[in-house]
């Protein structure tokens, strides 16, 4: 059922609050793929409280496991449905290509609009048997699993989605002769590839990234003595945003989140929000965020922030700078066009709905705000999330700091990455949910 939620400032409020985060989707999704390659899949039913993306990936892998038992005849194709999950689309395309059986990989209309050709083309150079069943370059795919083998070097430089690279790397230990892949560290979302490599190493893989060349041997994975369990830094960004914007809150505690030893690239949000006077203290159980006067406040220069490696932080930062009336220049945004929505467009639409009608400049790769104050609206503010979880959450946080507040449509989209978001936000904001019945 669709959902819209009204959000506004909550009074009175404790100065300190503890907020719970979801498990890191980036780390856990890689665990799921590697565990399936090892033949030790994680049961889907044991993790009903996980994000929608993780649930979809677990269920897709469960369908794969059933195919091992039931679909020995390659004339039968097992359906694998990945709903709206771009993560599952990319990771499962690679995993199915080297798995025993024949599969039809499909998803909702929204995800079938997202490109998959660079990954499919790369897999075909390894010998994968993949056929487009409808539109070239998009799902649905007919995938006949087979043994893959290395036939030279794959050039992944300039690929917009780092998940194409991660998908190839994760299956590389199953590829005869391993994998040689070209990828520049200047290409976008490098921290996510670093995370993939480190996670593979934890499972015994041999991976080296030197210069532009990533080399993976065909040394098999093995189970590590301990599985990593980290909370999600991308989701933590919304609570940094809340503390920066909120007139009353002074401290937040996020258990299960770690900075020093974290593999997650989005932990850079901790450094970025120091510009707003939000500081991070790490303890054995998590991190504490506190608000104070910045030690190095703006000296009148407009900051330029390159988000090419951290694109998921764009909505959080854009809304924060606008709400605080602080000028900013954000660059490295090209990959936003292939997210759950075109995030540059949806953030701009949301800011305009809030009254930021002047002072915004943008193109396909950049976003600038010159500090022009918003024009208060005489009508209720309604934000269309376009079913994009990161749009819904970043604007909901803004509403939680406003006396009049706003309404987020498509509020159910947060299940994709942070199912408990509304429960946690209700600790620090007034919420009025409105279920919207489906049309007959």
Instruction: List residues with catalytic annotation.
Output: 312
- Give, to the nearest 10 degrees, the angle between helix 86-97 and helix 25-37: 20
Quick check: helix, strand or coil at residue 255? strand
Give me the residues paired with residue 17 across strands: 252
Half-sphere exposure of 291 (CA within 13 A, CB side): 18
Q: Cβ(179)–Cβ(167) under 8 Å?
A: no
Helix (H) or strand (E) holding 290: strand 286-291
Provide the Cα torsion 397, 401, 403, 407; round to 10°. -10
The CA-based angle 251-236-168, given to 5 degrees, is: 160
Q: At what angle do helices 190-202 and 162-171 cross, to 10 degrees?
A: 20
Give me the phi and psi of 2, to 5 degrees please. Answer: -70, 155
The answer to whether 80 touches 104, Cβ cutoff 8 Å, is yes
| Measured CA angle at 45 (ends 195, 33), to 5 deg | 30
Other beta carbons within 10 Å of 134: 10
Say how far apart CA 273 and CA 271 lie, in whole Å: 6
Handedness of CA 20, 252, 238, 263 (dihedral sign): negative
H or E element that contains 70: helix 52-70
Residue whose C-alpha is closest to residue 196's, from 219, 175, 160, 172? 172
Nearest alpha carbon to residue 417 among 87, 141, 22, 17: 22
Nearest CA to 423 among 85, 5, 12? 5
3-class SS of residue 53: helix
Q: How many CB atoms lie within 10 A of CB 176?
A: 12
Tell me how far the alpha carbon of residue 299 is from its chain's centroid: 33
């Amino acid at each position: 059922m669709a959902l819209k939620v009204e959000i506004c400032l909550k009074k009175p409020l404790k100065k300190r609050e503890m907020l719970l985060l979801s498990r890191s989707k980036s780390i856990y999704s890689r665990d799921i793929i590697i565990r399936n390659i090892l033949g030790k899949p994680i049961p889907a039913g044991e993790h009903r409280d996980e994000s929608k993306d993780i649930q979809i990936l677990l269920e897709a892998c469960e369908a794969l496991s059933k195919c091992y038992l039931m679909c020995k005849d390659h004339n039968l194709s097992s359906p694998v449905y990945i709903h709206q999950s771009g993560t599952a689309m990319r990771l499962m395309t690679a995993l199915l290509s080297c798995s025993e059986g024949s599969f039809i990989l499909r998803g909702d209309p929204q995800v079938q609009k997202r490109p998959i050709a660079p990954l499919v083309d790369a897999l075909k150079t390894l010998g994968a048997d993949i056929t487009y069943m409808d539109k070239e370059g998009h799902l649905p795919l007919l995938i006949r699993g087979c043994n893959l083998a290395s036939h030279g070097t794959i050039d992944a430089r300039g690929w917009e989605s780092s998940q194409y690279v991660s998908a190839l790397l994760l299956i590389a230990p199953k590829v005869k002769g391993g994998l040689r892949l070209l990828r520049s560290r200047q290409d976008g979302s490098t921290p996510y590839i670093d995370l993939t490599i480190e996670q593979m190493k934890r499972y015994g893989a041999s991976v080296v990234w030197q210069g532009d060349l990533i080399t993976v041997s065909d040394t098999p994975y093995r189970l590590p003595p301990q599985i990593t369990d980290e909370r999600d830094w991308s989701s933590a960004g919304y609570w940094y945003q809340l503390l920066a914007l909120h007139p009353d809150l002074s401290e937040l505690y996020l258990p299960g989140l770690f900075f020093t030893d974290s593999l997650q690239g989005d932990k850079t949000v901790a450094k970025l929000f120091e510009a707003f006077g939000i500081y991070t203290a790490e303890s054995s159980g998590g991190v504490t965020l506190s608000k104070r006067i910045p030690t190095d406040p703006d000296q009148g220069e407009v900051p330029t922030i390159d988000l090419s490696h951290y694109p998921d932080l764009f909505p959080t930062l854009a809304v924060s700078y606008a709400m605080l009336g602080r000028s900013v220049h954000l660059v490295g945004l090209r990959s936003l066009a292939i997210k759950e929505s075109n995030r540059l467009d949806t953030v701009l639409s949301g800011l305009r709905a809030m009254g930021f009608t002047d002072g915004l400049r943008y193109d396909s790769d950049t976003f600038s705000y010159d500090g022009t104050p918003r024009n208060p609206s005489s009508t209720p503010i309604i934000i269309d999330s376009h079913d994009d979880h990161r749009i819904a959450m970043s604007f909901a946080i803004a509403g939680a700091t406003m006396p009049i507040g706003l309404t987020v449509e498509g509020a159910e989209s947060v299940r994709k990455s942070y199912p408990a978001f509304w429960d946690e936000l209700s600790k620090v904001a007034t919420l009025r949910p409105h279920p919207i019945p489906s049309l007959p």
